[in-house]
Amino acid sequence: MTYLAKPKLHHPDLPKNKLGFTRRDYEGTVSTLCAGCGHDSITGAIIQACFEMDIAPHRVAKLSGIGCSSKTPTYFLGQSHGFNTVHGRMPSVLTGANAANRDLIYLGVSGDGDSASIGLGQFAHVMRRGVNMTYIVENNGVYGLTKGQFSATADRGSKSKRGALNADESIDLVLMALQLGATYVARSFSGDKAQLVPLIKGALMHPGAAFLDVISPCVAFNNHDGSTKSYDYVREHNEAVNAMDVIPIRSEITTNYEPGTVQEIRQHDGSMIRLRKLEPSYDASNRLRAMNFVQERYALGEIATGLLYVASAPRDLHDSLNTVATPLNELNERELCPGNAALEKFNQGLR
Amino acid sequence: MKRIESVNDFVIKFANVNGSGSASANTLFAKSIMRMGVPISPRNIFPSNIQGLPTWYEVRVSEQGWLGRRGGCDLMVAMNPQTWEPDVAEIEPGGYLFYDSTRPMPASRFRDDIHVIGMPLTEITNAAYSDPRQRQLFKNIIYVGALSALLEIDVPEIEKLIAEQYKGKEKLLEPNIKALHMGRDYALAHLPCPLGIRVRRGDRVGKKVFLEGNSAVALGCVYGGATFAAWYPITPSSSVAEAFAKHCRKFRVDPGTTKNRFAIVQAEDELASIGMVIGAAWNGARAFTCTSGPGISLMSEFIGLAYFAEIPAVIINVQRAGPSTGMPTRTQQADVLACAYASHGDTKHVLLFPEDPKECFEHAAVSFDLADRLQTPVFVLLDLDIGMNERLCEPLQWDDKRHYDRGKVRSYQDLEAGARFGRYLDVDGDGITYRTYPGTHPKRGAFFTRGTSRDRYARYTEDGKAYVDNMQRLLRKFETAKDLVPKPEHIDARKPSRFGVIFYGSTGPAMREALVELEAAAIDIDALRIRAFPFHEEVLEWANRHEHVFVVEQNRDAQLRTLLVAEGQLDPSKLTPVLHYDGTPITARFIQGEIAQRLGAFNVTPLKKTAASGGGGE
């Protein structure tokens, strides 16, 4: 329970960003998750990313489904509107919210049960529609709030805390997102903040459907030997393809890199994503290659992480719907109601 | 042999095969009578199928303007061999059968108490056209031409309608006119024109307009300011979304940029539809979905969330009969309880019951004000009968002085001026609290939306006292709703009566006709048309004033009666259900028969022996 309010007084010397906010201004209430939960690290990474990007907290709408991961939006961006929706259905609520006001930043937080089981359908369709959002799955392969049942992302053959073996094939949400048309797809690990924070920043800047699968160990129910979502297992099998820098619009590029070690992908808004290659042959602008690579590594028992795919000119839902630039929720009666004269004309045609 | 003789008062029914292009010819026929100033009410009776199954189009012609289904049939246009027997059997004694006589029929397949008019339609069409598609389409126009002669319909009216239909496609105009006259000329030369039933020019249509409830409800959504719609195809509501798209293309495209001032998403299912609507409404846009019974079942979890989290949402439910493999193309009022109490926990919702397309338009527009004012889901309950059939009604009107009621929303200025903000704090004592849209103010007014695990300031809590406090406030809000929803309509008998009848929605036209018939049979009974739930105070006062009340509904379980007993604390023994639920629209004959018969049990005198007391008539 969130009975513990955080102290409102901040240290006077805390660094401030361009908006005059400290990192603390991006926090929410105290987390009520288990000590050591991977999700809290992700919360920390979201806070850091938003602080460093000078995002006005109230311009972010944070939405979630149901489950441990879906509780986390309370723990960051306390000045943002949040919506804890129903199990597996956050994507539809986010889609409607985005349709109503295209000017806000939409952050959807979900879990593997929420997105890969009950919400698989909505997960698929929100990607297909290219809703402009950052969709983070905090993936621990297990149902935490209901105490340790396997989820649909648990690998076949992995062992539950009570010793049961998972007989079902796992769902890889990264592959699904790639196939379904997400235009920014990344995987990371809650234990690797250096990798995670830039990936979140890139996703927040991306003007289309951005998906992040963040493996986030559950210390209470899925951190034992035989689990493929434990801290130890992920550290051992993590195969990062690249490390990422996000370069804001019109920043001067000064550093020089050796040829072939860096891939730069210009974004639609003029900003730049720079990837320092760790896997020399990897091309993050090639969707088919990304799908193959992820599966090849999976067959070897490795988890490919990093920015796996980004499209430089994504289309989003509003492009498809051809909506006006003004957010729909700001249109006034004059713009919406055709009035009685038009109705009389309409009547004429019905006689 | 008896011959039905009637001017401007008869029922004609077309028995067709679906997918044969008969619909537009039949509409042409019906509209030509309307253009002669004689009221009509056509109904499609169609299967859940695209091609090959039987479909009927029934047109009631009524000088007095009765728009309910009458029951029975005076002239059957039997174009479907599959349904020949029941079609022939349905004709009233002394009525007429019009059929395609190309293939000879044995006498045993006719009746000796009806007038049979054979016309070799296939032979005529095959002689004139060689293309199979043309043969099929023009056959329909040829029978319209023959009927114009048999019923004395003004040909220029039909020609004008064809010209309007093919405006811009003049190449198609001429062949249609030719086919029309081919049929008409044959009938004038060979058939007994005119029949005992016929049309005479009248002046009973006036300024009335002719449209489908679904189109009207969609236009109401445009006028009511909806900018977002999400839906999943389901009969009989799909045409609401399609009409909304059409109206929006006409009225809501920014002339400068050609960009849309609306967004419509065809969702992956009903769960996503209502989820999107809730997301859009949470974010301050007026949003709706349209669906039918099974869709409501699927939406139930989200409807609960919207109720508890207090998010406006408009749900248009075009009711049909039963489940997915029920009778999706037949009409009923059987979702009243499912909507009134949709979802888990203690929930109650606002329902509106439009009677005709005009009210579909009005209720749809007002539903957005109600949803915003009450911050809760609002259901507009129409049904297939008014939704998918064109119906004559008064012209649609809009008061240009009217303003949208966006309800209690704190703006940037309010928050900046220091307005106290608690999302679930009942400042005004009416149970309705203030909300903010996301992104309003950098430092004030943000809150976290959840179901019920929160206090008046939207802070997380699982405290029982906070839960009860919130649930009590929701009840106060529901009380407030009673005065905001449309009031009931009173139709008083000539003399004060101890008997009353309650009806709602698409039962209206049949009920109004039944009341006139009952009055003619010297039965005085007051009527009350309920237009919304929760019930306005007037409803209960009225019911309490009457010793005995009939409740006429198109469902099996007397669902509105259940609400009257449960929510109005009315004595069930004084509420007699009158129920019609076979999937066909209720008729005046049925209502009148049921009421007359039951009043007989109350020893009401005088009860004249009239055709009225003859029972269902179907």
Contact B442 A58 (CB under 8 A): yes
Which chain B residue lies closest to A55 (C-alpha atoms)? B442
Joined together, the tokens standing for residue B528 give 């009350």
Strand positions, DSSP E, B4-53: 6-7, 9-17, 40-45
Helix axes A120-128, A90-100, angle to 10 degrees: 30
Contact with chain A for residue B259, Cβ under 8 A: yes
Q: Which residues of B touch A317 (CB under 8 A)?
A: 265
The Cα–Cα gap between B349 and B192 comes to: 58
Q: Which residues of B touch A347 (CB under 8 A)?
A: 207, 209, 395-396
User: Do residue B260 and residue A321 have CB atoms under 8 angstroms apart?
Assistant: yes
Cα distance from B185 to chain A (closest Cα, Å)?
Answer: 28
pLDDT tens digits, one per residue of B81-96: 999 999 999 999 999 9
* Phi, psi for residue A287 in degrees, rounded to 5: -65, -45
Q: What is the pLDDT of residue B20?
A: 82
- Measured between beta carbons, which residues in chain A are less than 8 angstroms from residue B260? 321-324
Query: What is the average pLDDT across A72-78?
Result: 96
**Which residues between 292 and 331 in chain B have a beta carbon less than 8 angstroms from any beta carbon of chain A?**
301-302, 305
Residue A252, pLDDT score: 59
A341 CB neighbour count, 10 Å cutoff: 10
CB count in 10 Å sphere of residue B116: 17
Q: In chain A, which residues have their Cβ closer than 8 Å to the Cβ of B34? A: 351
For residues A203 and A134, give the distance between their C-alpha atoms in angstroms, rounded to a whole number. Answer: 6
What's the pLDDT score for residue B436? 98
Distance, CA of B10 to CA of B23 (rounded, Å): 20
Query: What span, in angstroms and rounded, lies between the C-alpha atoms of A296 and A233?
Result: 18
ipTM here: 0.95
Give A2's pLDDT tier (boundaries 50, 70, 90).
very low
Q: HSE on the CB side for A16, CA within 13 Å?
A: 8
Candidates A32, A71, A324, A331: best to mutate against B (most CBs of B within 10 A) is: A324
Q: Is the pLDDT of residue A101 over 90?
A: yes
> Inter-chain contact B265–A99, Cβ cutoff 8 Å?
yes
Report residue A270 as tokens.
């003029």
Cα B364 from Cα B361, distance rounded (Å)? 5
pLDDT (average), residues B413-419: 92
Is residue A212 classed as helix, strand or coil in its secondary structure? Answer: strand
The Cα–Cα gap between A80 and A85 comes to 15
Across the interface, do B399 and A340 touch by the CB < 8 Å criterion? yes
Give the span between the Cα atoms of B234 and B295, in whole angstroms. 8
Q: Do A325 and B259 touch (CB under 8 A)?
A: yes
Computed over every residue of chain A, the mean pLDDT equals 92
Report the pLDDT value the prediction gives residue A269, as an integer from 0 to 100. Answer: 75
Q: Is the predicted pLDDT of residue A164 greater than 70, yes or no?
A: yes
Mark yes or no for CB contact B279/A328 under 8 Å.
no
Q: Which two tokens stand for residue B349?
A: 């919702």
Task: Compute the average pLDDT of residues B235-262.
Answer: 97
Which residue's entry shows tokens 């699927």?
B298
Query: How many Cβ contacts (< 8 angstroms) between chains A and B?
Result: 221
Percent of chain B residues past pLDDT 70, beyond the cut? 97
Q: Do A350 and B209 touch (CB under 8 A)?
A: yes
CA distance A113 to A138: 10
Task: Kindly indicate the confidence band of residue B50, based on its pLDDT and cuts at 50, 70 and 90.
Answer: confident
**What's the pLDDT at B134?**
92
Look at residue B304 and tell me whether its pLDDT is greater than 70. Answer: yes
Is B293:B327 a contact under the CB 8 Å cutoff?
no
CB–CB contact A321 B460 (8 Å): no
Mean pLDDT over residues B583-601, rounded? 93
Query: Residue B348 above 60 pLDDT?
Result: yes
Query: In angstroms, what separates the C-alpha of B222 from chain A's closest C-alpha?
Result: 7
pTM over cut 0.90: yes
Residue B75 one-letter amino acid: L
Please name the residue of chain A whose CA is at the shortest distance from the CA of residue B33: A351
CA distance B287 to B368: 8
Q: For an interface test with B, which of A50, A89, A129 has the most B Cβ atoms less than 10 Å from its Cβ?
A: A89
Chain B nearest CA to A268, separation (Å):
21
pLDDT at B49 over 90: no
| Beta bridge mates, B327 | B321
In chain A, what are the domains? 23-320 (3.40.50.970), 326-350 (no CATH)
- Which residue in chain B has the smallest CA separation from A74? B448
Q: Is B573 on the interface with A (CB under 8 A)?
A: no
The sign of the dihedral angle between the CA atoms of B166, B172, B176, B177 is: positive
Q: Which residues of A touch B211 (CB under 8 A)?
A: 350
- Kindly calculate the radius of gyration of chain A based on its CA atoms and give it in whole angstroms: 21
B59-81 pLDDT, tens per residue?
A: 999 999 999 999 899 999 999 99
Two tokens, residue A8:
């409102």
Q: A95, B273: Cβ pair inside 8 Å? A: no
Cβ–Cβ < 8 Å for B127, B154: no
DSSP string, A34-60: PTT-HHHHHHHHHHHHHHHTT--GGGE
DSSP code per residue over A160-194: -TTSPBP-SPPP-HHHHHHHHT-SEEEEEETT-HH
CA distances from B541 to B273, B488, B538, B572 (A): 39, 11, 5, 15
* Among the ranges given (A293-307, B320-334, B494-508), the one the predictor scored with the smallest mean pLDDT: B320-334
CB atoms within 10 A of CB A18: 7
Task: Give the pLDDT band (50/70/90) at residue B614.
Answer: very low
Is residue B126 pLDDT above 90, yes or no?
yes
Cα B403 from Cα A251, distance rounded (Å): 48
Chain B residues 386-425 with CB within 8 Å of chain A: 395-400, 403-404
Average pLDDT value for residue range A250-272: 73
Tens of pLDDT along B143-167? 999 999 999 999 999 999 999 999 9
Q: Taking 60 as the threshold, does the pLDDT of residue A253 lie above it?
A: no
Chain A closest-CA separation from residue B441 CA (Å): 7
Strand partners, B380: B316, B352
> Which residue in A has a C-alpha nearest to residue B403's C-alpha?
A333
The verdict on a CB contact (< 8 Å) between B278 and A121 is no
**Could you give the percent of chain A with pLDDT greater than 70?**
95
CB contact under 8 A, A2 and B460: yes
Confidence of residue B327 (pLDDT cuts 50, 70, 90): confident
Q: Would you give the distance in Å from CA A128 to the centre of its chain? A: 15
pLDDT of residue B603: 65
Distance CA B25, CA A24 (A): 71
B86 vs A: CB within 8 A:
no
Residue from B91, B66, B12 nearest B392 by CA: B66
List all residues 6 or more positions away from B451 whose beta carbon is below 8 Å from its beta carbon: A84, B304, B305, B308, B309
Confidence of residue A1 (pLDDT cuts 50, 70, 90): very low
Dihedral over Cα of B578, B584, B587, B589: its sign: negative
In angstroms, the CA B208 to CA B396 distance is: 9
Mean pLDDT of B414-425: 93
Residue A233 burial class via C-beta count within 10 angstroms: exposed 0-12, middle 13-18, buried 19 and up:
buried
Of B261, B259, B256, whose CA–CA distance to B222 is shortest? Answer: B261
Q: Where are the alpha helices (DSSP H) in A111-159?
A: 112, 120-128
Among partner residues B207, B252, B449, which is closest to A83 by beta-carbon distance? B449
Q: Is the peptide bond before B194 cis (omega within 30 degrees of 0)?
A: yes
Min mean pLDDT across A157-166, A266-275, B225-234, B259-268 is at A266-275
- Arithmetic mean of pLDDT over chain B: 95
Helices marked H in B191-269: 213-223, 238-251
Q: Which 16-45 residues of chain B touch chain A by CB within 8 A? A: 34
Q: Does B209 contact A at CB distance below 8 Å? A: yes
Please tell me whether residue B5 adopts helix, strand or coil conformation.
coil
Contact at CB, B280 and A96, closer than 8 angstroms = yes
> Is the Cβ–Cβ distance between B481 and B374 less than 8 Å?
yes
pLDDT at B111 over 60: yes
pLDDT at B433 over 70: yes
- For the purposes of burial, counting CB atoms within 10 Å of the CB of B496, is it exposed (0-12), middle (13-18) or buried (19 or more)? exposed
Q: By the 8 A CB rule, do B151 and B197 touch?
A: yes
> Nearest-CA distance from A55 to chain B in Å?
11
Q: Which of B282, B416, B447 is best to mutate for the A interface (most A CBs within 10 A)?
A: B282
List all residues of chain B from 462 to 481 with a beta carbon under 8 Å from chain A.
462
* Residues B440, A61: C-beta atoms closer than 8 Å: no
The tally of CA atoms less than 13 A away on the side-chain side of residue B481 is 26
- Report yes or no: B539 at the A interface, CB cutoff 8 Å: no
Q: Which two tokens stand for residue A102?
A: 């295209």
Q: Could you tell me which of B353, B304, B288, B296 has the C-alpha nearest to residue B324?
A: B296
Phi, psi for B458 (deg, rounded to 5): 65, 25
B396 and B219 in contact (C-beta within 8 Å)? yes
pLDDT at A61 over 50: yes
Query: Residue A82 and residue B448: Cβ atoms within 8 Å?
Result: yes
How much of chain B, in percent, has pLDDT values that exceed 90? 91
Q: What's the CA gap between B197 and B191, in Å, rounded?
A: 14
pLDDT band of residue B610 (cuts 50, 70, 90) is very low
Q: Which amino acid is located at B252 in the chain?
A: R
pLDDT for the residue numbered B604? 60
pLDDT of residue B615: 38
Q: Is the pLDDT of residue A191 over 80?
A: yes
Which segments within B340-400 are labelled E, that is strand? Answer: 350-352, 377-383, 390-393
Which residue type is seen at A128? R
Mark yes or no for CB contact B446/A325 under 8 Å.
no
Neighbour count for residue B585 (Cβ, 10 Å): 27
The model's confidence at residue A250, banded by pLDDT at 50, 70 and 90, is low
DSSP summary character for residue A116: I
Which two three-digit tokens encode residue A76? 């960051």
Contact across the interface for A322 and B267, Cβ inside 8 Å:
no
Chain A residues touching B301 at Cβ < 8 A: 86, 89
With cut-offs at 50, 70 and 90, classify the pLDDT of residue A71.
very high
